[in-house]
Amino acid sequence: MRALVIDDSRAARMAVSRILKSIGFDVVEAENGEQALDILNKDETITVAMVDWNMPIMNGYEFVKLVRRSDKFREVMLVMVTTENEMSQVVKALSAGANEYVMKPFTDEVILEKLEMLGLRL
Amino acid sequence: MAITHREFDYIKGLIKQEAAIVIDTGKEYLVESRLMPLAQKHGLASVKDLVDNLSKRDNQQLVTQVVEAMTTNETSFFRDFYPFEALKKKVIPDLIANRSAAKELVIWCAATSSGQEPYSLAMLIKENFPQLATWRLRIICSDISEEMLERTRSGVYNQLEVNRGLPVSLLMKYFKQDGTRWIVKDDLRRMLEVRLVNLAAPWPHLPQVDLIMMRNVLIYFDQVTKVSILKHAYDQLKVNGVLLLGSTETTINMNLSYQVQQYEKLSYYSKL
Ligand SMILES: C[S@@+](CC[C@H](N)C(=O)[O-])C[C@H]1O[C@@H](n2cnc3c(N)ncnc32)[C@H](O)[C@@H]1O
Ligand SMILES: [Mg+2]
């Protein structure tokens, strides 16, 4: 299975990617929502995107809204991974169409358990 | 400063006697790292001073604190995931079918730790079995640690704890936020009855139960204690009642009366 990790911080991308790779995912990375949309449009094998909220050019919230506007990506799971930890923000992301939500900082277990909830453990 | 054999043996004996928990030789570092903070809290310079104080045998509160410090409270919401899938799809539906005349269900979480397990169960029931709203439903949760019981009662969790195992939709529905603390809403909290039970001592009076969750606690006991607790649990179950253990625990090879059942990845134990 293939995953897309979207974060403007290289360290954060590496942290999430490492966990996904440890359970056998192929990982593609993007630095912002615009790049991510581009990748998603070209690569139909991506099953899940891990999405940071605060990024330049296009933030994660905008990305989620845009992805959910297109029927083509209906099956792609979207997991927000962000320092935004206000209930109102979480609700906002969920109503835009995010499937799960991880508040930074996280441990490996957090990510693995979230994937399991979404039926994505390999 | 490493602890001596004498101190280690003293703590080992005390924990065995008070909670039936076995501390293996070689776990000196564990005793040291768990008890040093407690010693300091009491203004003592070392674990040796703590042991000296304990051996006077006049401070039960200190004994309790040592036991609490030595127990492992590791837990998470919907821990291991698949047991809760089995509860949802098989165990609870079967119990509901069995108890439809009496309309009563009694559940016992026998090592609640900080409460994630009983709250997971309470959410699972609310989400999937709305018909139980008109039943008499009791969720009794117990632990040896008063500190853990207090945490269960308070229903307060930090961000990392609510990140672990808990679907975010349930976090939004059943918790309120206070800064970085997340607090279980009252209607869910009120579903739990919290009480002190040392599994390794004579049990207080408990009702007959339909479902016992006794997960990740037997692992700390020796074989004799395990068998005796599992026998006791059998007597505590109603007919057709079910026992759930942790993923590394089993009743097999203990010559007990439980019927082993399998649902997908989960083995569970019934009283027929
Ligand atoms: C690792 S936690 C398990 C929590 C939860 N059941 C789970 O599976 O996630 C073990 C708990 O057992 C409790 N415990 C240890 N010895 C006990 C005893 N003799 N009687 C009752 N509880 C005990 C500890 O206080 C701790 O909260
Ligand atoms: Mg960022």
CA of residue A69 to ligand 2 center, whole Å: 23
- Which residues on A lie below 8 Å from B159 (Cβ)? 85, 103
Whether residues B106 and B236 share a domain: the answer is yes
Whether residues B27 and B157 share a domain: the answer is no
pLDDT at site B174 = 98
Residue B235 has, within 13 A of its CA and on its CB side, a CA count of: 8
Name the domain boundary from B70, B91, B123: B70
Angle separating helix axes B5-19 and B28-41, nearest 10 degrees: 80
3-state helix, strand, coil in chain A (%, to 5): 45, 20, 35
Beta bridge partners of B139: B107, B192
**Is B76 part of a structural domain of the chain?**
no
pLDDT at site B1 = 62
Whether residues B264 and B168 share a domain: the answer is yes
Q: What is the CATH number of the domain that holds B162?
A: 3.40.50.150
Which ipTM did the prediction report?
0.95
Work out the percent of chain B whose per-residue pLDDT is above 70.
100
Whether residues B124 and B224 share a domain: the answer is yes
**Is B77 part of a structural domain of the chain?**
no
Whether residues B32 and B161 share a domain: the answer is no
Architecture of domain A2-116: 3-Layer(aba) Sandwich (3.40)
- Residue B39, domain extent: 5-70
Per-residue model confidence as pLDDT tens digits over A85-121: 999 999 999 999 999 999 999 999 999 999 999 999 7
Atom of ligand 1 nearest to the CA of B74: 1
User: Which of B18, B113, B222 has most ligand 1 atoms within 8 Å of CB, for mutation?
Assistant: B113
Name the domain boundary from B15, B36, B70: B70
Task: Flag if A109 and B164 touch (Cβ within 8 Å).
Answer: yes
Name the domain boundary from B45, B70, B95: B70
Whether residues B180 and B47 share a domain: the answer is no
Whether residues B51 and B173 share a domain: the answer is no
**Is B75 part of a structural domain of the chain?**
no
pLDDT at site B255 = 84
Per-residue model confidence as pLDDT tens digits over B212-256: 999 999 999 999 999 999 999 999 999 999 999 999 999 888 888
Residue count of chain A, please give it: 122
Per-residue model confidence as pLDDT tens digits over A44-66: 999 999 999 999 999 999 999 99
Task: Provide the number of structural domains found in chain B.
Answer: 2
